[in-house]
Amino acid sequence: MKTITKSLGALMLGTTLVLSSSVMSLAAEKMRISLQLPLKSHLGQNLVLFEKEVEERTGGAIDVEIYDSAQLYKDKEVPAAVGSGSIEAGVASLTRYVGDVPAVDVFYMPFLLNSEEKVRAAVAKGSPIRSALEEAIAETGGQILYWQAYGGAILLSNGGPIKTPDDLEGKKVRVFGKTLGDFVTANGGAPTMVSGSEQYLAYQRGTVDAGMTGVSGVKSRKLWEVMDTITVTNHADIEFVVVVNSDWWNGLSDEIRGQIEAAAKVAEDTVRDDMAGIEAAAYEAAKEAGMTIYTPTDEEIDAWKAASQPVYDNFVDSAGDLGAKVLDAAKKL
């Protein structure tokens, strides 16, 4: 009897170990996400929300790991890293796909998507703009899981606002995309590509004279320590995307993919709905830190628009049929 009891005990122990091993195997399915911004940024906090939603919905079958502040990859490296499978997922500025899909820069066309209503219509699930861009990006080996709102593009400077194109004349300006560079060139400046994680040092060292970013980035990166003025041009809509490696994604079960997609929807809706408040808080923080906030007059905005027409011409020439399609759809919003 003792022998039988011991045998049963051993069998139960073995079964428990097998089950535990199975659970651990499920939990060990890593979803590493690369992020160039600090975790305290609104995109970082949005990923924390996504992580919580995923792990709860999948019962721990997916273990999300966030690598913030460009620990693994800079923003410009994310598309290739995700597409090659070097990492399961990453966050990149949409414009980082411009090399493969020039049409993505429709969001950076000067003053085109210049209201929240237009932006929401453009990024809505199933919209002709979003659908066309996601389909094209999926051919790179990575596909968009969800979009992260980042707000409008602003200009940063020292010693006074950049009210009109004349104030930009001859200045080296930090940009983070080709079309944004075209905008600077059309308005008399000299664009310089600088990664988001490197812009603080670029301003501090005088590598550039002025900058371009979203106001939430001013807060999360404490850019008021190196720049003293914000000009609220809102000349482009800045969108980030969370992308996943296609092979990794297709290797998951339908059920797990469905749960991750549900978590992604919660995260996407939350950051979009919170964006106005996030920007307002960032402007307030910048004021409290001593920055000057300047809003151009209608006449000054008209001067920016007039000078920026060559950007549209360049886009039409370089973005092909897909570019023409999404630009036409954006103009109809």
Q: Which domain holds residue 218?
A: 29-326
Rounded Cα distance, 52 and 47, in Å? 9
In a domain, 10, yes or no: no
Is residue 14, in this structure, part of any structural domain at all?
no
Strand residues in the chain grouped as ranges (E)? 29-34, 62-67, 89-93, 142-157, 172-175, 190-193, 211-214, 229-231, 237-245, 292-294
- Residue at 12 is within a domain: no
The pLDDT value recorded for residue 233 is 97
CATH number at residue 118: 3.40.190.170
Mean pLDDT of the chain: 92
> Residue 171 pLDDT more than 60?
yes
Domain count, the chain: 1
Is residue 5 domain-resident? no
Name residue 32's amino acid.
R
263 domain-assigned = yes
Residues 115-125 as b or e (16 or more Cβ within 10 Å = b): eeeebbbbbee
CA distance 75 to 90: 9
Confidence tier at 149 by pLDDT (50, 70, 90): very high
Arithmetic mean of pLDDT, 276-292: 97
Taking 3-state DSSP, the helix, strand and coil percentages for the chain, each rounded to the nearest 5, stand at 55, 20, 25
Q: Which two tokens stand for residue 249?
A: 């994604």
Cα–Cα nearest to 137, from 237, 244, 33? 244
**pLDDT at residue 195, rounded to an integer:** 87
Q: What is the pTM of this model?
A: 0.86
Cβ–Cβ < 8 Å for 74, 39: no
Question: What would the pLDDT profile of 229-268 be if each residue is shown by its tens digit?
Answer: 999 999 999 999 999 999 999 999 999 999 999 999 999 9
Q: Is residue 10 pLDDT above 70, yes or no?
A: no
The CA distances from residue 298 to 25, 167, 213, in Å, are: 60, 16, 21
The answer to whether residue 8 is domain-embedded is no
Residue 72: DSSP 8-state = S
pLDDT of residue 28: 58
Q: What is the pLDDT of residue 3?
A: 40
Query: Around 253, how many Cα atoms within 13 Å sit in the side-chain half-sphere?
Result: 8
